[in-house]
């Protein structure tokens, strides 16, 4: 099943963008974990549309109705299921997409895969709307991790060539993560964020959309977590990250820059610090060696493509007549989804890390 992920923890996401509800079922969470509902809602709110014109005007409260798996704010150990209602839909805006697929979107490939029976309203199951239940699952996993001192944080690193400052890949801390987490526009340098927002508004006025890069880090992950080959930390994180619509690239540590280096530049020298911990002078490996955590911050960058739905006429095909055609898209669309995807990336990493941490001695005691 395409929307079911199982690796110690299992996540099943269901629903469509304009259906009555979307939701998630999470299984194999450790029992007895306290879940702060207010903090969970705060996490969910971070992916919600903003009123500054940089996102879609569609307003969904994303209030989750927990159906099972939580009693007295503690996990019961049985499947945790949450519904999120869809209340602000305008399905008529998508009536022409059954025959005129959007360039850059899964309308065409989805129609082939599901023999034309896929729900195209708002993107259906291919919509970014489905990141709301992903964020719910990631918020739950994040609270369990943070109770053990493990923090995951991300920010908008770049939009359309406008760059934010990067996290310090060697010395980034929990405080650095929390300093960005609840900003209205999640950047380290607010002045750069303002330039990005202005660029997004200009793109919207021109009927365009923008992509960008998200930088994400995880701190205080103990060394020795993960496995080689097909069950490494990179493997697990990658699978969940690519479950976020619009993700087109992912790199860990120095990423593709390592191809320009020689061995002595790429290799991170080991040393013992004044607390007796093994660390590395640099962090080109991004905190992971051989699929296993080294104890250094886990660092990655995620490339997000421009939103497929733009305000300009686009060449497409008419799937009914099999002729060339032109599409003019109606509806409410984000000119840039990068900022809203920041908590989605964090959520994916939270789930991946918790799934591996369950193997760590004494983690759930």
Does residue 363 lie in a domain region?
Answer: no
Please determine, for residue 35, whether its predicted confidence score (pLDDT) is greater than 90: yes
Q: Mind listing the pLDDT tens digit for each residue in 191-243?
A: 999 999 999 999 999 999 999 999 999 999 999 999 999 999 999 999 999 99
Does residue 178 lie in a domain region?
Answer: yes
Structure-token match 């994916």, residue found: 348
Structure-token match 């369990």, residue found: 144
**Closest among 67, 68, 65, 70 to 84, alpha carbons compared:** 65
What's the CATH code of the domain at 321? 3.60.150.10
Q: Which helix (DSSP H) or strand (DSSP E) does residue 101 occupy?
A: none
Does residue 336 lie in a domain region?
Answer: yes
Please determine, for residue 359, whether its predicted confidence score (pLDDT) is greater than 70: yes
- Beta bridge partners, 12, equal 4, 25
- Give the pLDDT confidence score for residue 319 in this predicted structure: 84
Please work out, in degrees rounded to the nearest 5, the angle formed at the alpha carbon of residue 93 by the alpha carbons of 107 and 312. 70
- Ordered DSSP codes for 193-258: HHHHHHHHHHHHHTT----EEEEEEEESPPTT-B-SGGGSHHHHHHHHHTTSTTEEEEEETTGGGG
Query: How many domains does the chain fold into?
Result: 1
Q: Mind listing the pLDDT tens digit for each residue in 276-291?
A: 999 999 999 999 999 9
To the nearest 10°, the Cα dihedral for 55, 56, 61, 65?
A: -100
Q: Mind listing the pLDDT tens digit for each residue in 60-93?
A: 666 678 999 999 999 999 999 999 988 765 556 5
Residue 202 CA to residue 194 CA, distance in Å, equals 12
Does residue 364 lie in a domain region?
Answer: no
Query: Domain span at residue 226?
Result: 4-357
Does residue 151 lie in a domain region?
Answer: yes
* Cα Dmax for the chain: 72
Does residue 271 lie in a domain region?
Answer: yes
- Give the pLDDT confidence score for residue 1 in this predicted structure: 46
Q: Mind listing the pLDDT tens digit for each residue in 87-126?
A: 765 556 556 777 888 888 888 888 878 787 777 776 767 7
């Amino acid at each position: 099943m395409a929307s079911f992920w199982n690796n110690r923890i299992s996540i099943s996401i269901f629903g469509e963008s304009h259906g009555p509800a979307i939701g998630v079922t999470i299984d194999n969470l450790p029992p007895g974990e306290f879940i702060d509902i207010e903090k969970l809602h705060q996490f969910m709110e971070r992916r919600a549309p903003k009123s500054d014109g940089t996102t879609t005007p569609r307003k969904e409260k994303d209030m989750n109705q927990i159906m099972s798996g939580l009693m007295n704010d503690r996990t019961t150990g049985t499947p945790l299921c949450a519904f999120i209602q869809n209340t602000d839909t305008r399905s008529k805006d998508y009536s022409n997409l059954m025959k005129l697929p959007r360039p850059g979107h899964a309308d065409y490939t989805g129609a082939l895969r599901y023999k034309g029976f896929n729900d195209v309203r708002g993107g259906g199951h291919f919509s970014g709307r489905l990141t709301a239940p992903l964020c719910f699952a990631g918020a739950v996993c994040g609270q369990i991790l943070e109770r053990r001192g493990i923090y995951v944080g991300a920010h908008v690193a770049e939009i359309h060539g406008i760059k934010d400052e990067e996290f310090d890949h060697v010395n980034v801390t929990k405080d650095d993560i929390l300093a960005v987490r609840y900003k209205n526009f999640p950047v380290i340098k607010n002045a750069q964020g303002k330039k990005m927002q202005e660029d997004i508004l200009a793109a919207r006025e021109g009927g365009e959309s923008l992509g960008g890069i998200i930088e994400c880090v995880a701190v205080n992950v103990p060394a020795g977590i993960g496995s080689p080959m097909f069950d490494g930390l990179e493997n697990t994180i990658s699978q969940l990250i690519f479950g976020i619509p619009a993700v087109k690239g992912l790199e860990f540590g120095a990423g593709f820059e390592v191809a320009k280096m020689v061995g002595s530049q790429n290799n991170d020298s080991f040393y013992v610090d004044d607390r007796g911990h093994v660390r590395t002078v640099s962090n080109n490996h991004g905190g992971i060696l051989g699929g296993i955590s080294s104890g250094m911050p886990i660092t990655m960058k995620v490339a997000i493509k421009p939103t497929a739905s733009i305000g300009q006429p686009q060449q497409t095909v008419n799937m009914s007549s099999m002729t060339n055609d032109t599409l003019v898209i109606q509806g409410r669309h984000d000119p840039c989804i990068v900022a809203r995807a920041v908590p989605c990336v964090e959520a994916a990493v939270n789930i991946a890390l918790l799934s591996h941490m369950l193997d760590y001695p004494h983690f759930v005691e």
